[in-house]
Structure 1
Amino acid sequence: MKKKPAALVAVYRLLDWSDRDKCLLLSVLLWGYMSFVFLWHLFTIHLTEFADRFVSTEGAEVMTQVMLFNQAGWLVLVVWGMLLRRTQRHSVLYPPFFMSFFSVAFLLLGWTFGLYSPMTGMVLVGAPLVGFILFGFQRVAWNFAFTVLVVLLLAWLSVQGYSVHAIYFIKYPISQELLSYYWIGSTVAFMAPFITVVIVLVALLLGRWVRREAQVRDQALHDPLTGLANRRELFSRFGFELARARRNGQPLSVCLLDLDHFKRINDTHGHAVGDEVLVRVAEVLRGCLRETDTVGRIGGEEFVLLLPETDHAGAARGIERCRTTIERSPVSLACGELLSFSASFGVVLWQADDEADEHALIARADEMLYRAKTAGRNRVEFWSDPAVAPC
């Protein structure tokens, strides 16, 4: 399997970046975007007939000043961020300054090109979406609220007859009387990189969120050491399997497993070796049982096995296979010696006429486990054995 490029992996983990690095990345992208718009502006006013027909002299001058201001501001933010990163420092001023400058920079661009242009609307929708994901709601909301208020104020002034809308143009290049394909193409060119970046960032960030959600869910339902189902997940599956067994009239075997002399292993060889033993047992149980069976660790050295649609004979074969394999699966110590260990098993068979619930079945299995311990350990005891009549 091919490894993902380091840059792609880094961007995929964008949510884990510091605010400084997020702002630096966006500053670089926005400086490049504004450079593209500035070059378009210079090309348009000097080399196209579009400027003669639609662009005002005053608007062109204002646009040049706006672009120079934008370029200088984003360049300052890039240099500031790179210096912070090189010195491995963070600044509480850098992120809010970035967000505020973003609002001002695009307000000026929207004021110049027109508040009702598709590009202005795209920025008003796309930028806050990315901002909320990257920086949280509160900090971005203040800048977004300020931007919306300014846009509404400019729109109101435009309605009142003041020349504050699309000052770049003598006459707007898209109307019922006029239609400039050059401007339509330019608008698409402006929007394409912005939309692409927004979609890519949102897709990566949402993908990261989905992955985190899966990790959190996995941690909530599985034992972190062995990867087996924890008590919560085990009893959830237990309830499901018991209900299914009652509905279908099929047997369900339940086994409680406890490692023999596990405290001695911890006391003699240390908890690291004890953990290695637990992991080895989990691997053995996974390998010896079916995919439809459930294995869970409910604490310390205790494990529970759920074997659906398994009668006494089937459970005896499966549990005995687990017991012998555990006995033959030692772990290596640091000195090179092999540490062998064993386990005792208590098994109960649920059948269609049994009214016991999950906790009653576990209690029965625990009673059989105690019997296996007192009978010499490293053995299997069945509740349903004829010689073991329940009290």
Structure 2
Amino acid sequence: MARLEALRARIGDPFEWSSSAKASLLLGITFLLHTQYVLWAHYLLNVPGHEGLVNGDFLRGHLDYFHMLLVTSATLLGFMLLLRRSTGEHRWVEYVATHYYGLSLCYFSFHIGTLSLPTGAVITGAPVVGFILFSHGAVLWALFASLSLLAVLSYASAFGFLPYAPAISGLTENGQLSLFWLTSMFLFTLPHLVVLTALAYYILNRWRRREEEIRTLSMTDPLTGLYNRRSILAHLWYEHERSKRQGPPMAVMMVDLDNFKQINDTWGHPAGDIVLVAAANALRGSLRQNDQVGRFGGEEFLVVLPGADVENAQKLGERCRQAVAELQVDIGDGQVLKVTCSIGLACFEQGLGDESEALIKSADQALYSAKETGRDKVVLWT
């Protein structure tokens, strides 16, 4: 698992790759596919009895073109790898790579049939992956060019201007499909399916992880890692509505760090941030599994306690207060700060209004009372 994560980190996020990196990937795939076709052609021409399987004269006449395409693929791949080291974005290379990929495969599909299984796999799979990875313009133009060429080759065969699948001989035997060419078609198709499926899986998996990271960032406070104000209010609204419908009590705590402005003024805002993080961790560690805490603003935290009646809420409030009071916050240079908090508590079973804002207002009033009567205490709204 660690090696897999290290490999993922080395590959990086495909959405952040440069155009030359994306083009290098596609040209590398193209080079491997061309290598497969060249090796297969040499194998067919050298296997005993190949005359019954392949049109040897036609294939020999095109073998030099096969080699030229393989050399061109290697040259373009090397150029793209060198281009990756340069600065700046080169969007035009995506057009070069996608067009070369599509048009060169059209040439090979002409030899084994433009309506063959490998051709169908590329036509259906490659654009889908291409739209995810490359610019839409590059994929659309390459798709248009490739489909146009396939159409020209297919209709030229239909009207007798070109032979259809001229490299193939003995496609059927006694009215049955040749087992050799059936297996060959699947072998031609397999690399396309493996590559396209692997790319789609990896890219979409990264996309899901990226979306989850964005969703998490939109919900959390970047300093403390707690829910942000919008998220904790949404959670409060959900639990409040559930309490109204199904009847279990719930409670809300407003937590405010005492004399926090003095900490910022005396020790600086970096020290204040350290204190906030320590207090957030103390609150989080004092709550039950289903309780939620969020940063309400500044040094204030909002805690939602589903299913808690007055007695349980007061116990939880006292536990949170004590956890914060026991903190020894190291702010560096041998300086250790003590911090306390005041807590205002309101319970829905007390007959508060039907809106969740009423709970917040009541808890805030209780918090104000705790501040006015000495701080470092839990006050229940009455």
Q: Structure 2 length normalisation: TM-score?
A: 0.93
AA in 2 matched with 1:16: E
- Identify which of 265, 268, 271 aligns with 2:269: 271
Deviations 1:228-257 (A, max 9, x none): 122222122112211221223222111111
Instruction: Give the secondary-structure state (helix, strand or coil) at the position aligned to 1:285.
Output: helix
Identity %: 32
- SS of equivalent residue, structure 1 residue 39: helix
CA distance in 2, matches of 1:365, 1:211: 37
Q: Provide, for residues 142-185 of structure 1, a one-character-per-residue CA deviation record: whole Å limited to 9, x for no partner.
A: 2112211222222222222222532223x461487253222222
Which deviates more, 333-342 or 173-182? 173-182
2: CA distance, partners of 1:195 / 1:157: 28
Measured against aligned partners, the alpha-carbon deviations of 1:329-362 in whole angstroms (never above 9, x if no partner) come to 1221221121111111111111174434111111
The equivalent of 1:240 in structure 2 is 238
Matches of 1:261 and 1:131, distance apart in 2: 57
Hey, what's the Cα distance between the residues in 2 that align with 1:285 and 1:351? Answer: 23
- Cα deviation per residue 1:23-60 (whole Å; 9 max; x = unaligned)? 21232232122112101101101224234453151344
**SS at the partner of 2:165?**
coil
Shift of 1:22: 2.1
Q: CA deviation at 1:304?
A: 0.5
> Shift in Å at residue 132 of structure 1?
1.0
What displacement does 1:82 show? 2.1
Q: Of 260, 263, 268, which residue of structure 2 is paired with 1:262? A: 260
Unaligned ranges ≥5, structure 2:
none
1:25 paired to 2:20: no
CA distance in 1, matches of 2:343, 2:46: 87
What does residue 183 of structure 2 align with?
185
Shift of 1:105: 0.8
Equivalent-residue separation in structure 2 for 1:96 and 1:365 (angstroms): 61
Q: Which amino acid aligns with 1:61?
A: G
Q: Which residue of 2 aligns with 1:307?
A: 305
* 1:221-236 equivalent positions in 2, closer than 5 A: 221-236=219-234
Distance (whole Å) between structure 1 residues aligned to residue 61 and residue 270 of structure 2? 72
Structure 1 ranges of 4+ moved more than 6 A:
none
Distance of 1:358 and 1:25 partners within structure 2: 54
1:76 equivalenced with 2:41 (yes/no): no
The aligned amino acid for 1:27 is L
State the alpha-carbon separation in 1 of the partners of residues 66 and 189 from structure 2: 17
Question: What letter matches 1:45 in structure 2?
Answer: L
User: Which residue number corresponds to residue 369 of structure 2?
Assistant: 371
> Which residue of 2 is the match for residue 162 of structure 1?
161
CA distance in 2, matches of 1:82, 1:70: 18
Q: What secondary structure is seen at the aligned counterpart in 2 of 1:245?
A: helix
Counterpart secondary structure, 1:161: coil
Task: Indicate conservation of the 8 Å contact 1:293/1:308, yes or no.
Answer: yes
Cα pair distance change 1:12/1:184, threshold 3 Å? farther
How many residues align? The count is 382
Q: Distance in 1 between matches of 2:174 and 2:88?
A: 55
Other-structure match for 1:124: 123
C-alpha distance 337-161 of structure 1, shift in aligned 2 (>3 A): same
Q: What amino acid maps onto 1:70 in structure 2?
A: L
- 1:5 CA displacement: 5.7
TM-score by length of 1: 0.91
Q: Does 1:280 align with 2:274?
A: no
Deviations 1:89-129, CA, capped at 9 Å, x for gaps: 65343222111211221111112221011011111112112
Give the superposition deviation at 1:3. Answer: 4.2
Aligned residue type for 1:359: E
Kindly provide the amino acid, as one letter, of the partner of residue 273 in structure 1.
A
Q: Is the 8 A contact 1:265 1:274 kept in 2?
A: yes
